[in-house]
């Protein structure tokens, strides 16, 4: 391997591998989740992916709405890219019936948008406690909401992808806390309608995660990679790191996801103030290097 000529962000260390060029077969399954380059518009993200040779994009609803769903779909297709997922649906743990109906309606609209975009799945962030302390109740409402969305998901051909979230978010963002729990919710429902997200940041610590990933098998609707770093940044929502800067064994988890039969895109989704402050092209180059070094060899 030749000497690296780049510097990684946000670590500032010399890259250990060269930046893969567009067309490099190692990039075939790489996807940029838009949140990683949070300051980029959809047009900038599409251009950034095309320039870097990243073939897929995980889009967020807000920047898609800025241009309109049909236009967004055309922008992605015109650049020769595909949409790997739409972020995000969910947030259906509200306690009152009117709020729950509104959340279901919003999720049906998100499914419609995902269908227009040709996305295989809609990522569901379950939502947190609605101001009370009834965690079991909130979890039950999340399960009921997913079930209620199944007919619409089947109708439009987009899979619901339940995202188990690190317990750090159990109170305020995601009451589904383990991959095992997400699979318990998904399994009674049709596999072509309901899957799960395996996000390394959220599940790396889970006892028995190995068995759960293999159990997940064709329920894995999305594989997302980012890093657990310490000390944890002050804002927990922005506490995710670039692969290689922390404690997660990407070889181990990626091998398991691969052994489980997952053949889809691998999204890099990093919420981090330092990453967001860096130039988008540098971030994309860094994540491509880290991906081909740490993740892709184990797919």
Residue 299 is given by DSSP the state: -
Nearest to 282 by CA among 2, 5, 3: 5
Q: CA separation (Å) from 178 to 44, 51, 121?
A: 34, 36, 20
**12 makes contact with a copy of itself (CB under 8 A):** no
Q: Which residues in 28-57 contact a copy of itself (CB under 8 A)? A: none
**228 makes contact with a copy of itself (CB under 8 A):** yes
**3 makes contact with a copy of itself (CB under 8 A):** no
Angle of helix 179-186 versus helix 209-216 axis, rounded to 10: 30
**246 makes contact with a copy of itself (CB under 8 A):** yes
**133 makes contact with a copy of itself (CB under 8 A):** yes
**206 makes contact with a copy of itself (CB under 8 A):** yes
Q: Which stretch binds a copy of itself (CB under 8 A): 10-18, 131-139, 186-194, 267-275?
A: 131-139
**135 makes contact with a copy of itself (CB under 8 A):** yes
**Contact of 285 with 241, CB cutoff 8 Å:** no
**255 makes contact with a copy of itself (CB under 8 A):** no
**130 makes contact with a copy of itself (CB under 8 A):** no
**166 makes contact with a copy of itself (CB under 8 A):** yes
Distance from C-alpha of 274 to C-alpha of 131, rounded to nearest angstrom: 31
Residue 255 is given by DSSP the state: H
β strands within the chain, DSSP E: 30-33, 56-60, 82-90, 121-125, 159-162, 194-199, 220-225, 227-228, 240-241, 266-268
Q: CA separation (Å) from 151 to 84, 111, 177?
A: 22, 11, 25
Nearer to a copy of itself, 39 or 247 (CB): 247
Out of 1, 3, 97, 234, point to the residue binding a copy of itself (CB under 8 A). 234
Nearest to 226 by CA among 215, 235, 237: 237
Residue 44 CB neighbours (<10 A): 15
**Contact of 94 with 127, CB cutoff 8 Å:** yes
The nearest distance, CB 251 to a copy of itself, in angstroms, is 9
Q: Residue 50: is the preceding peptide bond cis (ω within 30°)?
A: no
Nearer to a copy of itself, 163 or 265 (CB): 163
**104 makes contact with a copy of itself (CB under 8 A):** no
Number of residues that bind a copy of itself (CB under 8 A): 32
The nearest distance, CB 62 to a copy of itself, in angstroms, is 22
**Contact of 117 with 86, CB cutoff 8 Å:** yes
**172 makes contact with a copy of itself (CB under 8 A):** yes
Q: Which stretch binds a copy of itself (CB under 8 A): 34-42, 81-89, 173-181, 212-220?
A: 173-181
Binding-site ranges for a copy of itself (CB under 8 A): 129, 133-135, 139, 166-168, 170-172, 177-178, 180-181, 184, 204-207, 228, 230-232, 234-236, 246-249, 252
């Amino acid at each position: 391997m030749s000497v690296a000529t780049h510097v990684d962000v946000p670590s500032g260390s010399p890259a250990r591998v060269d930046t893969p060029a567009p067309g490099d077969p190692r990039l075939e399954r790489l996807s940029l989740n838009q949140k990683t380059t949070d300051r980029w518009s959809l047009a900038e993200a599409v251009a950034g992916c095309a320039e870097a040779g990243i073939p897929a994009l995980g889009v967020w609803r807000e920047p898609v709405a800025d241009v309109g769903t049909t236009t967004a779909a055309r922008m992605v297709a015109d650049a020769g890219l595909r949409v790997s997922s739409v972020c995000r649906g969910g947030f259906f743990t509200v306690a009152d019936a009117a709020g729950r109906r509104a959340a279901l309606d919003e999720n049906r609209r998100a499914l419609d948008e995902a269908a227009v975009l040709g996305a295989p799945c809609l990522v569901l962030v379950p939502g947190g406690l609605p101001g009370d302390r009834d965690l079991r109740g909130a979890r039950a409402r999340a399960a009921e909401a997913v079930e209620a969305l199944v007919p619409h998901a089947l109708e439009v051909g987009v899979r619901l992808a339940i995202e188990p979230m690190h317990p750090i978010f159990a109170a305020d963002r995601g009451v589904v806390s383990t991959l095992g729990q997400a699979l318990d919710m998904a399994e009674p429902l049709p596999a072509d309608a309901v899957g799960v997200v395996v996000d390394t940041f959220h599940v790396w610590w889970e006892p028995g995660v190995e068995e759960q990933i293999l159990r997940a098998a064709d329920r894995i609707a999305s594989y997302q990679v980012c890093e657990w770093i310490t000390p944890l940044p002050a804002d927990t929502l922005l506490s995710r790191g670039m692969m290689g800067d922390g404690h997660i064994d990407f070889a181990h988890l990626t091998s398991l996801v691969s052994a489980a039969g997952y053949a889809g895109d691998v999204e890099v989704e990093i919420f981090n103030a330092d990453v967001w402050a860096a130039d988008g092209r540098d971030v994309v180059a860094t994540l491509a290097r880290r991906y081909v070094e740490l993740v892709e060899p184990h797919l």
